[in-house]
Amino acid sequence: MIDDVYLHPLTLVSGPQAVEGEAVRLGGSMAYAREFALVLRRDGAVAERIVATASQMDAAIARLPDLAAKEAAQQWANLAKVHAPLQLGGRTIRLDQPQVMGILNVTPDSFSDGGAHDDPEAGRASAAAMLEAGAAIVDIGGESTRPGASLTFEDEEIRRVVPAVEYCAAMGAAISIDTRRAGVLEAALAAGAHMANDVSALRYDPRSIELVAASRCPVVLMHAPGTGDDLHAGGNYGDVVSEVFDFLKLARQRAIAAGIAEDRILIDPGIGFGKSLGENLALINALPLFHALGSPLLLGVSRKRLIGALSGEEEADRRLAGSIALAMKGMEAGVHLLRVHDVAETVQARNVWRGLRDAALTDFSQLPPL
């Protein structure tokens, strides 16, 4: 019987010198791990769990059956994979530190800021403020994907997003288009967008995967359990972490088989999409595992319902502190892109975190004398 393999980073450290060099840099980020759990699952249950440090991992992998060992070796290599910068138009987005992606919703019914950017002047002002505050990318969305949202037709979604893409392109912004429809993506790319962010992982519209491959644009593949109009449907998990990992692994393989270059794929565990509070928390705690897929990580947790569930059911526009707390958790895990509503505040938190991490990486007082 073939075992499913998962390589979980366990012990995160401030830098390699804190553990005398025995740490792995996760996904080329500013996150480092010393100990790892090599987990084999069989028939939905854990069959074996081996905890090893970086120097012990080769020996631990060698103990496994051939197929499991091959998969473990690939995941081990992926954990330390350094990702090339994203080239989005004239902008180069380096992935060696956390970058902030600002959310620009041009929808009347978004859960957090619905209708705020219906007026192009308001949208333009918001986009300019995000860029001035330090957003590396502006992510434009014309369809609400909150639970229970009304279905948006393709021509209406195009009508909403194309003007926003055009005014962001005029500012020289790096632009991502948040859509699951090939027609919308095609129109947005023609108007100046550079990147696709597909909440269905290119499953909803059969043309999307071909379009992304042909256009050679980077794409975010997100986990959502639903296969039809309702992306939140069908979220029944035995073990949410391994099942989301498996889904994204298959989505990534499917994209590569369709001709999408491996270095243009990013992944997103889909926090809040068809998952309970406990399942969302489990995924956030397991974020370092997803480096084992070999692609940069995007985390979208800004103002989401789980924050309200943990803090007296605060409304979406009162969830800034919780959003920052989750963004910090993502940074500690080595997430490359943070998709947020509150750009200035998140950039400030990122800069402080970056200062602390820089100080830890340049503190040689912990090293033994020569």
- Check whether 264 has a pLDDT greater than 60: yes
Q: Where in the chain is the domain with CATH 3.20.20.20?
A: 86-357
User: What's the pLDDT tens digit per position in 155-186?
Assistant: 999 999 999 999 999 999 999 999 999 999 99
**What is the pLDDT, as a whole number, of residue 112?**
55
186 vs 1 pLDDT, higher one: 186
In degrees rounded to 5, what are phi and psi of residue 299? Answer: -125, 125
209: Cβ contacts below 8 Å, ≥ 6 apart: 202, 254, 255, 258, 260
- Check whether 366 has a pLDDT greater than 60: no
pTM (two decimals): 0.94
Residue 123 Cα to chain centre, angstroms? 24
Query: Using an 8 Å Cβ cutoff, are 5 and 75 in contact?
Result: yes
Average pLDDT in the chain: 93
> What dihedral do alpha carbons 204, 208, 212, 213 form, nearest 10°?
110
- Check whether 234 has a pLDDT greater than 90: no
Position 116 confidence tier, pLDDT thresholds 50, 70, 90: low
- Name the range with the highest mean pLDDT among 117-121, 330-334, 359-363: 330-334
**What is the pLDDT, as a whole number, of residue 208?**
98
Question: What whole-number percentage of the chain has pLDDT above 90?
Answer: 85
Q: How far apart are CA 33 and CA 55, in angstroms?
A: 12
Which tokens go with 158?
């195009």
Position 110 confidence tier, pLDDT thresholds 50, 70, 90: low
304 is catalytic: yes
207 is catalytic: no
Tokens 């959502």 belong to 224
User: What's the pLDDT tens digit per position in 33-71?
Assistant: 999 999 999 998 999 999 999 999 999 999 999 999 999
**What is the pLDDT, as a whole number, of residue 109?**
56
- Lowest mean pLDDT segment, chosen from 101-105, 143-147, 229-233: 143-147
**What is the pLDDT, as a whole number, of residue 189?**
98
CATH class, domain 86-357, is alpha beta
**What is the pLDDT, as a whole number, of residue 151?**
79
From 275, 339, 350, 357, the catalytic residue: 339
**What is the pLDDT, as a whole number, of residue 179?**
97
187 vs 111 pLDDT, higher one: 187
- Check whether 195 has a pLDDT greater than 80: yes
- Lowest mean pLDDT segment, chosen from 28-42, 92-106, 142-156, 231-245: 142-156
Q: How far apart are CA 122 and CA 87, in angstroms?
A: 28
From 304, 319, 350, 357, the catalytic residue: 304
- Check whether 305 has a pLDDT greater than 70: yes
71 vs 117 pLDDT, higher one: 71
